[in-house]
Structure formats: structure tokens, C-alpha cells
Structure 1
Amino acid sequence: MNREYVPAEPASLAAATAEEEQDRRSKPEHEGLGSHRWYHVPCAELLNAAHQSVVVINGDVPVESACETLILNGISSAPVWDKDKNLYAGMFDYRDVVTYVLVGLSKDTPIDASASMEFKELVRLARSHEPVPAKLAADISQRNPFYSVIEQTHLLQVAALFSSTIHRVAVMNDAGLRGIISQSTVIQYLYKNIEKFPDVQSVFAKSIKELGLGTKSVIAVDGTTSVLDALKLMSKNDVSSLAVLSVTGGIIANLSMSDIKWVLRSSKFNLLWQTCLQFVGFIDSEQGIMDGRDKLPVFDVLETSTLGYAVGKMIATKAHRVWVVERAAGPPLSVVTLTDVFKQITPVLDPRED
């Protein structure tokens, strides 16, 4: 699905810029960067700060090769270019990989008559064990559409999307695709430059409980659940990860859709029928061989932890969520996601103030 998020007209952007300049000049000089509004930062500034290399997947390569591209570049998503249609077919991420795997394993499940011709072709190829082009799998999960904005778009418009179900947008200029801005890109920028944004700093200083976060129900499985059943549960509940619990109910691991890369990369589909605990042990071993880490981190924080601490932990572990617990190694009470963070820090303004 290819969608375009249309930002303000250039004339409106110019007017907003003039108003910001007048507003800046009218404020005391000692306010300096502390008076800067984070949501008026243009997308181009984030891309400049991130020094991002654009990764685009050739739509004709098979899903397995597209997955390998994500792994080699250490990213969770990339746009897919369809040269035949001369457009971006969509975004490809690990949700799509999981959906592709589940479709291939569900040979007895009838196809919805209203499904698109592209989806029906993907199902046919997957179930007959033929290569599936990445352009057919792009956004097969229907959770990662291709949205685009221009370089001058302010973060307020992007953050409004990130407060919903969208996790990344493509930034375009006259030459084409300039880069990708994700929830993580914005949060890392704000966290690194927090002293410039007192409004964000004040929110980050409050506890998870004080902000009313940590009230979502937890999707979790015990360690004896098969990896395949865990993936089905994630897909059914539209979540990208879940907690793996011990016999006493404490969190012993975090299982994510991105962990499907270990199945595809090693061509060990038998791992899908292992227990979550066995699978986590396998990942621990493989991860240790690759980068020396001997244990996967458990992403949990206390109710009394500040939102800033939770955000710092998500950045450090490259996670999109943390589990909220009452005590260390205790059972999960809830979960806080990057989407929750955006809902907390994104102001609701009159369009004329943007």
C-alpha cells in the first residue's frame, strides 16, 4: 500500500518559518536553545544528524534476500522499489517476513476471495515453495505502509503519525528518496538533545505511573510455548514482541518478530517448533558468536521509573517497548511503547500554530 502524507503548502511553511523567527527575536536572549520547539524541527535536520545511508530493496529479489538486506544493514525496515511500475511498492519489515512464513505454513487455510491478485500470487508461490519477490511481500502484514513527506516537513506532522499506527516515513526531495525517519530516529534525536527541549525534558522526568502509562494488558507466553505459536499470537494481537515468562511468572526473555531472522538466515525452520526457551538459548549462543554477548537483555522497568529512564533503556537495547514490572524480575504488569512516548510528548496545536 503506497500512501502519501501531504504536508503544508510551501507558502504556509514559509509563513510559519517567519512567525518562528519573529517569536525567537521577541524572547529574551538568555532563553537560547531552551526555548526551541522540537516539533518545529524539519525532517532534513534529523537526517543530517543521523548521517543515514539509504537502503532500498530491489522488488525482484526473493523475500529471503530482502530479509538478509535488513540483517546486514542492522535495520528493521526498508522501502521496496518496483522497477516495472517505477514506484515504491511499500515498506518491507520483519512483520512481513513473519506473515510470509505463516502463510507458507498454512496450506489448508482458504484464501479470502476479496484478497488482491498480488496477495493470491504470493500465497500460491509460498505454498508451492517457489521464490516470492519482495515486491509482493512489501506490507503483506498491512501494518507498515509507505508514507512519504518532504524534507521541510516539521516533526509535529511526523509525530502525529507516530502517535498512531505508523512507525516510519520516507523523506523525499527533488532527487527522490532522501532517507527514512522512524520513531526511533526522532526519539534518539530528542534524547541526545534533551537540554534544548525543556517541554520534553519535563515529561521525561515524570514516572510511568504518574503519566498514567503502564495500563495496557500484556501479551505473554510461558517458556514451553512453541516459537510458531508465539509468532501466531503476535500476529493475531498485532504486536511485534511478547514477554516469555518463567514458571513463577517472571520475565525471562523478550521474543520479537525480528527474531525470525535467525530462522531464515540459518535455514533452520525446525526452530519454529522448538520452545521459546530453547529458541532464546539458540539466539543467545548465535549472538555470542557474532558479537561476544552471552545473554539477551530483558527489557523491563519499574512503575516508579521515569519515562526518560524507560526511553533510555529502549534506545540502549534498540527496542520499541519495555515491560513494566512492580519489582525486579517480577511478572509484567504492562508495557510502554514508543507510540506511547509520542502520545505523551506530541502537543495538540491549532493548525495555524504549526
Structure 2
Amino acid sequence: MDPVDSSAKSTPGSNGSNSASSLPGVASPPERSNSQSNKPSHIAAHRQSFAENQRYPPPSPHAHRHPSFTQQAIQDLLINPPSNRHANTRYAGRDWRDMALSELVPDEAKWADLDTSVEEATMTLLKNNTSNVVLIRKTSDSKTAISTFDPSDLNAYLLVVVGLAKPNEEHVAAYDEISKKAQSQTPISLREIQTLSRKEQLVVLPADSTLDGAIEAFGSGIHRILVTNQSREVTGVLNQLRLLEFFWNEAANFPVIDRLYGSLLRDLQIGTQQIIAINADAPLADALSLMSNEGLTSVAVVDHGLNVVGNISTADVRHLTNTTSLPLLKSSCMHFISVILSERGVERGRDSFPVFYVNPYSTLAHTVAKLVATNSHRMWVVESASPSPSAPATPLLQASHPVPTPAAAAAVGATSPPAPTILIPPTTSTSGPQSPLPGQSIAVVPSAALPGSRISGRLTGVVSLTDILNLFAKSSGLNPSDPSEQRARRRRSSSSSVRPTIEGGRTSVDIRR
């Protein structure tokens, strides 16, 4: 079909007719004059040339065509894209509170024994582990979990190995022993590191338990639930992110949940204004210590104007499991973020940029979509960007090029760089799968050079998975406990945890520099 004819079809907002003359604002082709109709037959039979046809062309329908959407409608479409989710016959018409955990949790628990080396447990944790946790048992034939090993534990172990941990008096001897073994490449078992990090209580539920009990636990601040079979053997793990992803994908089947997605964060009043962040110029080691000491899984990275410029989580510790990556600990947090983003761009074949923030006028749908897309535990709430009191205004505004670490510089200049030595003491050899230092094979690109990078805005709050699942539970008539109790339990006592008040108590932000 000719393009002009195609454009003449009815548009959204028309009366539904396919005739071009019925469209408002579209002129009809001019009628033939009488003089043309009375031409001799031999002239009428003459085929007109292209130039003659263009002498009096009909006006294009595009010239007066009304837009199908207003500017506001386009903006709303960008903020809240149409959902392609449809009713699922498996869940349609059901009350999600009566669903069994077995319907959501596959049998994919990853195990390690108490005598398993930290290196082996780390490889299990980093390789194809959707639950992001390794369950620890006493013996290899047991199916009862007595503890867990996750990125927070790996972070705590790393800090001990490099001498950055600050243990209590009763743990000094144990920390020194671990550090000595690591330096001598002596295998260290999971049994020896059980005192390094504060453990979350293990919550165990049978597979035939209903989902209401699980979401009450998650809304109370529990991060994961161990699911058992009829023999009380752990068969799988359900975590907060997996449950939120389920509610995001299947929201069309649950009106109580679906109606919340259109609400603004400002109106829902969820999240907290008690925030701990770290300055972009601070050493990476300070960020790792901060997360370990405060029991956090991630911290916001801000500039001197409190604008969010990035995010560092315990999951990023995987970039630091080789001895060649040790120089990164002394580099700035901003430099480390550029390393992470550069690696993501190479792995996924496209550039990446931070998307770990929302604003008070973001909808819950927008927030949940970002959490699911980035596999994050929290989104930082920001307002309009504020000027920084020092130059440069923000790391994202300058095209600064981080100074390469010695390891990265050596790798660039060497024709065949040596294989990195794993930081975690090996049990047999270091020829197994290892996480390479991104700086060795990936050019570190400043985040300012990545498409889409810009000032996000001034940090004012945070919305976590716990906050959203707590909202879902309460909206469905359930009674989760106050999540602050769990947060206080995970947070280690520290004299530095007194947080200065910013702008008369409107929000409380502790910025570590």
C-alpha cells in the first residue's frame, strides 16, 4: 500500500472510520474540473508524465494531521509503559495468600559443609546461584541448614584477610589466625569464619505453607526463607526479590496488589529517611567496612552536594576475589563504580549507567520495575539535584579519567599478563574458575562518558524490598511486625552510627567521607 494511503487510516481518537475523508483535519483530494472531463478522448487517453502529475499534487494528509497522543499522554506512557502481562490461568481468580510456597520455589538449594573451604563456597556462590546464598550443613549427607554463606559473609571475610576488619576483643585472636592462614595460602574452612559476620535468623517453612506467612516474614525484615519437604529437608530458598518479581509479573491476577502500582511513593509514604551513604571520593575499603559494620547490603554513593552518583553493594565484592584486585580497595568509590559499569557493558554488549534511584513522584510500578530489572534490594529516593559546595560539582559532570591501578597498568603494558592469584586460599590449586579483575582486560571508562549518565538528584530517602512487601502484606489484611527490629538486630553497635541531621530533621543522612 502507498505510504499516504497507509497514514490515512483511522488514528486513536477518531470516529473509527477507515475513510480518509472522515478524518478531522485531512483534506480530500480535489475534484476534477469540467474542462478536464470534456477533454477529447485522444487527450484523455494520453498517459501523463511524472512532472505533470506533480504539477497539482493533493495536499499530504500529514500536513494537518492531529497527534494521536498529547504531550502529557506521551510522558505518562514513558513513565508507566503499558503492561504486556495478562491474566494467567494458573493464578487467575485465586487469592495469593492461599498459594503454597512450592508453587514459587524450585528445588535449587546450593550446599556446602562446615569443612568446605571458603574458596569452594565462594565459587558455588558466584556460579549460577539465583538464590544468592549457599546453605551450610554439618555433613555432606545432611539436608538441614545450620547457617548460610552469602555476599555479606564474603565481604566480612575479605576485610579480615586484608587487615581492615576491627573485631571485638573476644574475636581478635580468631581474626589474626584467619589473616595468617590467608597470607600463607592455607585453606580456611567455613567453620572458622562463622564469627565474622552477624547472621540473620534462619526462618524455615514447609513447602505446603501458604504465602501469607512468607510475606509477613519478609515484610518484617527477613530476607530469605528456607523451604522444606515433608521429611523436613531443605529443598529450596525463597527470598524477597523472588517474591517481588512474582508479584510484578503476575499482578494482573491479583487486584489488591495491582491497584497499588499506580500510586506515587509520596502518597504511599513508604521507605525511610534514615540513610547511610558514602562520599564518591572515599576509598572503596571504607564502603565495604561501612556495609559490614552496619549490617547493610548496599550503600548510596553521593557527591559533596548529596547527589546520588552510584551504588555499591555486597554483590560487587565478586570483583575483589583476586589478589590482583587489591589496588581497587585504595581507589575511590567512584572509580570502582566505573569499573563495574564498564564490565557490565562488555558482558551484556551494551553500555550501562546507574539506575538505582527514584523520586517521590515515581509510581510504585516504576520503582518495582527498577528493583526487578537491576536485582537490587533498595532504591534511593532523590529530589532535584543540588549544587555541590566544592568543585567539581559532581563526579558525573566532569570527564575525569581515573588513574589506572598498578595491576591494570601492568596488564595493559604486558603482552601476556600472568594469571591472577585468587585472594581466597585454595584447597588444591588455582586453576579453577576465577573472577578476573575487570581492570586487567576492560578499559575503565568514567561514568560521565556512558550514555544516560546525569545528576540523579539529592538523596532524601530509601525504599527497600522490605518496605514494599510490608505494604503488600498490610494492604491484604496481614500484620507484619516492624522491620526496624530486624534492621537493628543486623546492625552492629558502633560509636560512629550517630547520624547528623540535615536541614532541620527533614531527613537524617550519615555521609561517610
Could you say what secondary structure the match of 1:132 adopts?
Answer: coil
Amino acid corresponding to residue 456 of structure 2 in structure 1: A
Q: Which residue of 1 aligns with 2:460?
A: 333
1:218 to 275, 282, 285: 275
The TM-score with structure 1 as length reference comes to 0.79
Q: Distance in 1 between matches of 2:467 and 2:93?
A: 24
Paired position in structure 2 for 1:8: none
Which runs of 5 or more residues in structure 1 are unaligned?
1-31
**Relative to 1, partners in 2 of residues 1:224 and 1:162: Cα closer, same or farther, differing over 3 Å?**
same
Q: Match for residue 303 of structure 1?
A: 360
Report how far residue 235 of structure 1 moved: 2.3
Change (3 A) 1:325 1:298: same
Asked whether the 8 Å contact 2:163–2:179 carries over to 1, the reply is no
The CA distance in 2 between the partners of 1:287 and 1:228, in whole Å, is 22
1:289 aligned to which of 342, 346, 356: 346
- 1:192-222 superposed Cα distances (whole Å, 9 cap, x missing partner): 1101111111222221111112432222122
The one-letter amino acid of 2:473's match is T
Amino acid at match of 1:56: W
Shift of 1:84: 7.3
Contact 2:219–2:467 (Cα < 8 Å) also in 1: yes
Alignment map for 1:63-142 (pairs within 5 Å): 63-75=118-130, 76-83=132-139, 86=142, 87-106=144-163, 109=166, 111-113=168-170, 121=174, 124-129=177-182, 130-137=186-193, 140-142=196-198
The equivalent residue for 1:10 is none
Residue in 1 that maps onto 2:381: 324
* Aligned 8 A contact 1:251 1:298 in 2: no
- Aligned positions, number: 313
Structure 1 distance, partners of 2:141, 2:305, is: 54
User: CA 1:39 to 1:98, structure 2 compared with 1: closer, same or farther past 3 Å?
Assistant: same
In the alignment, the residues of structure 2 paired with residue 67 and residue 171 of structure 1 have an alpha-carbon distance, to the nearest angstrom, of 22
Counterpart CA distance in 1 for 2:343 and 2:478 is: 48
Task: Give the aligned partner of residue 168 of structure 1.
Answer: 224
Please tell me the residue identity of whatever aligns with 1:133.
S
Q: Please list the CA deviations of residues 61-85 of structure 1 after superposition, one character each: whole Å capped at 9, or x if unmatched.
A: 3223322222211442121222179
Q: CA deviation at 1:52?
A: 5.4
- Amino acid aligned to 1:335: V
Matching residue of 1:23: none
Kindly provide the CA deviation profile for residues 275-325 of structure 1, in whole angstroms up to 9, marking residues without a partner as x.
Answer: 111111222233333332432433111201111221111001111111111
Q: 1:54 aligns with which of 94, 104, 109?
A: 109
SS of the residue 1:204 aligns to: coil
**Structure 1 counterpart SS, 2:149:** strand
Q: How large is the RMSD of aligned CA atoms in angstroms?
A: 2.8
For the pair shown, the structure with the greater C-alpha radius of gyration is 2
CA–CA separation in structure 2 for the residues paired with 1:281 and 1:350: 42
The answer for the alignment partner of 1:13 in structure 2 is none
- 1:153 paired to 2:238: no
CA distance in 1, matches of 2:165, 2:380: 36
Tell me: CA distance 1:240–1:314, structure 2 relative to 1, closer, same or farther (3 Å).
same
* SS of residue in 1 equivalent to 2:321: helix
- Given residue 336 of structure 1, which amino acid in structure 2 is its aligned partner? V
Give the secondary-structure state (helix, strand or coil) at the position aligned to 1:203. Answer: coil
Amino acid paired to 2:100: P
Q: CA 1:267/1:156 → structure 2, altered by over 3 Å: closer, same or farther? A: farther
Q: From 185, 198, 201, give the equivalent of 2:255.
A: 198
Q: Higher mean Cα deviation, 137-146 or 174-183?
A: 137-146
Which residue of 2 is the match for residue 177 of structure 1?
Answer: 234
Distance 2:310 2:227 in 1: 35
Deviation at 1:250, TM superposition (A): 2.0
Letter in 2 for 1:287: R
AA in 1 matched with 2:332? T
Between Structure 1 and Structure 2, which shows a larger proportion of helix residues? Answer: 1
> What is the one-letter code of the residue matched to 1:295?
S
Question: CA–CA distance in 1 between the matches of 2:272 and 2:320?
Answer: 33
Match of 2:299 in 1: 242
The answer to whether the Cα contact below 8 Å between 2:107 and 2:235 also exists between their aligned partners in 1 is no
Write the letter of the residue equivalent to 1:254: N
Residue 131 to residue 210, structure 1, CA distance change in 2 (3 Å): same
Distance change (3 Å), C-alpha of 1:172 and 1:90: same
Q: Deviations over 1:145-202 (max 9, x none)?
A: 4321111111111112112232011111035222110001111111111011111112
- Structure 1 residue 135 displacement after superposition: 4.0
Q: Which residue of 2 aligns with 1:45?
A: 103
2 CA distance for matches of 1:282 and 1:33?
42
Question: What is the percent sequence identity of the aligned residues?
Answer: 27
Q: Distance in 2 between matches of 1:262 and 1:191?
A: 30
Tell me by how many angstroms 1:39 deviates.
1.9
* Separation in structure 2 between the aligned mates of residue 295 and residue 350 of structure 1, nearest angstrom: 39
Q: Distance in 2 between matches of 1:133 and 1:60?
A: 5
Instruction: Say which is worse superposed, 185-194 or 206-215, in terms of deviation.
Output: 206-215
State the SS of the aligned residue for 2:366. Answer: helix
Structure 2 SS opposite 1:88: coil
- Closer, same or farther in 2 for the Cα pair 1:218/1:36, shift >3 Å? same
CA–CA distance in structure 2, aligned partners of residues 102 and 121 of structure 1: 14
Report the CA distance shift for 1:170/1:66 in structure 2 as closer, same or farther (over 3 A).
Answer: same
SS in structure 2 of the partner of residue 335 of structure 1: strand
Aligned-partner SS, 1:322: strand
Counterpart CA distance in 1 for 2:202 and 2:91 is: 34
2:96 and 2:173 mapped to 1: Cα distance? 44
Quick one: distance in 2 between partners of 1:108 and 1:43?
39
Query: Bigger CA drift: 333-342 or 85-94?
Result: 85-94
TM-score (norm 2): 0.56
1:84 and 1:195 map into 2 onto residues whose CA distance is: 43
**Aligned residue among 320, 325, 339 for 1:268:** 325
CA contact (8 A) 1:92 1:137 kept: no
Q: In the alignment, is the contact (CA less than 8 A) between 2:283 and 2:330 conserved in 1?
A: yes
Note if 1:345 corresponds to 2:345.
Answer: no
